[in-house]
Chain A
Amino acid sequence: MKPVSVEHMSIRFGAVTILPDVSFDVAAGECFGLVGESGSGKSTILRCASMLLSIWTGDVTIGGRSVREMPLNERCRTLQMVFQDPYGSLHPRHSIRTVLSEPLKIQGLDDRERRMREALGDVGLPASFLDRYPHQLSGGQRQRVAIARALILEPEVLLLDEPTSALDVSVQAEILNLLVRLREERGFTYIMVSHDLAVIDHMCDRFAVMQSGEIVEVLPREAIKGNEATHPYARELIGASLEYESVV
């Protein structure tokens, strides 16, 4: 288990500042949520932390070690990302075997067949799925494969970018259960982006509310139910979610 610390992360695209200055800490083994409206920079934080974007300033440390200093191989074995849309994040012409074996080859790990079977088993898919292609799987199964791909290098930190928002509620329940179980078993540290506060409430211990690139408030999970936020935007967001649920 490793803690994650984001210090003064800042990024600009041309004249537009996406993240002015973002800092937060995530304890080892915690599930930390990022919420906010679209365009508020939630996903950008994950893309910077995973070095998919490298032109940012500031630092992200995992277990005290900066992601910038880590060589690529070490970084990949420390943090992995699960993307929003399993229809877009798996190569349509690569079999599941190819998808899962690629990182093992790059890392020079042996015993690939066993590792691939284990990773699929961990996400509740049979080993026979190794020879399937993404179009032969349902959305939920694809997202399981994407999670298996993230697990296969045994990372410490998982960055989850709206892992269930492209899925139906019935399938979302399966994926959320899987993520909860994996965290209990492996002690992962999660940073989870979501726009659905009910999902955040179900998964996270604490969460940050973001507005136009800035964290306006960090709240514990318990603050959602009674809307104990103090910042006006955080109150509005939580209030809207509560209202949305309670009108039913």
Chain B
Amino acid sequence: MTEERPMLDVKNLSVRYRGTDTPAVRDVSFTLGRERLGIVGESGSGKSTVGRALLKLLPTAELTADRMRFEEVDLLTAPERKMLELRGQRMSMILQDPKFSLNPIQRCGLQIAEAYRTHVRCSKGEARAKAIEMLSAVQIRDPERVFDLYPHEVSGGMGQRIMIAMMLLADPGLVIADEPTSALDVTVRLKVLRILDGLVREKGIGLIMISHDLSLVRSFCDRVLIMYAGRVVETLAARDLDNARHPYTQGLLAAQPRIGGSRDELPVLERKDSWLEPAEERP
């Protein structure tokens, strides 16, 4: 991480959904520079909630933090008008399943062009050219043809690349990818990840990758936050994942069957209440 001020600075973020007693996210703190940060945990651990809270996409939830700052903007006090400027243009989000995140009755290319025209004043022709350029940047072979396709006419892998194109079009500083490849087949998963990874590096974008897959995060992120029941239980460099100290992280790693691994009984996670205690001070 660079010495300069981090792009994103979050301190003691807590989120409580309306109608529940226990917060979904408790005292989560982290900073992000121009790097790739993974957030990993089981379903219900609050990892997606963190991503949504950063974009303030949780209007009904109660959101508290000591600090939540993105570049010069204080996200805690930013009015909705300011957030509208930020979302899509300076921070954007790639969702899990392209089937549900693209408008089914509008051509893919028009959706990308629309996203561009929302943020940049330009003619329709320029937006179209920009969209086609971006489609080829995500390695879609025949971008002119794909521009005119409807979402149901493209495969899952291509749909996710279209989403990536749409989200990176406005050159955001921060991209939050929420399980970007969980809905994809293993044959296209790596390809999509590499495209995302290539663009993120090339443009120097800060990336937050939310995933339940430790091995994915290990290869595509620099740093990893491990979340359990709304708390960050451990933060480590991705390459040190094998030396994880927290029993939860170790348990998650061990529970994963491996190709060519032994066929002995898989180690099962023994959950302990003590994991819910606040973690010790992190570096």
Contacts and interface: CB of A to CB of B under 8 A. Distances in A.
Interface of A: 37-38, 139, 168-174, 176-177, 180, 195-199, 201-202, 224-225, 236-237, 240-245, 247-248
B185 interface: yes
A198 B189 contact: no
B190 A243 contact: yes
Name which of A168, A176, A199 has the most chain B CB atoms within 10 A of its CB: A168
B192 to A, nearest CB: 12
B219 A247 contact: yes
Interface stretch (B54-62, B164-172, B257-265): B257-265
Interface string B76-108: 000000000000000000000000000000000
Contact of A170 (B189, B259, B268): B268
Contacts of B267: 173
Given A202-B257, A247-B219, A168 B43 contact: yes
A244 B190 contact: yes
Contact of B251 (A170, A176, A224): A170
A173 B258 contact: no
Nearest to B242: A248
Interface in B136-193: 156, 185-187, 189-190
Name which of A172, A197, A242, A247 has the most chain B CB atoms within 10 A of its CB: A247
B266 to A, nearest CB: 4
A224 B265 CA distance: 20
B190 A170 contact: no
Given A38-B156, A169-B212, A197 B259 contact: yes
Given A176-B266, A177-B266, A168 B259 contact: no
Contact of B42 (A168, A174, A202, A225): A168
B118 interface: no
B218 interface: yes
Nearest to A197: B259
List of 4 A-B pairs having minimum Cβ-Cβ separation, nearest first: A173-B266, A173-B255, A225-B260, A202-B257
Contacts of A247: 190, 215, 219
Contacts of B255: 169-170, 172-173
B268 A174 contact: yes
Contacts of A168: 42-43, 212
Interface in B177-231: 185-187, 189-190, 212, 214-216, 218-219
Given A237-B186, A240-B189, A170 B261 contact: no
Interface range, B side = 20 to 34
A197 B256 contact: no
B236 interface: no
Given A244-B190, A248-B215, A225 B156 contact: no
B269 A177 contact: no
Contact of B185 (A38, A139, A171): A38
A47 B256 CA distance: 28
Interface string B248-283: 000110011111110101111100000000000000
Contact of B257 (A170, A176, A195, A248): A176
Contacts of B189: 240, 244
A170 B156 CA distance: 27
A225 B260 CA distance: 6
Given A197-B186, A247-B215, A247-B219, 13 more contacts: A168-B43, A170-B252, A173-B257, A180-B263, A180-B265, A199-B257, A225-B260, A236-B187, A237-B186, A240-B190, A244-B215, A245-B215, A247-B190
A241 B252 contact: no
Contacts of B187: 37, 236-237, 240
Contacts of B156: 38
Contacts of A174: 268
A125 B187 CA distance: 37
A173 B269 contact: yes
A206 to B, nearest CB: 14
B252 A245 contact: no
A64 B263 CA distance: 31
A174 B254 CA distance: 12
A202 B261 contact: yes
A236 B219 CA distance: 20
Contacts of A176: 257, 266
A242 B218 CA distance: 15
Contacts of B251: 170
5 contacts: A139-B43, A170-B268, A180-B263, A202-B261, A225-B259
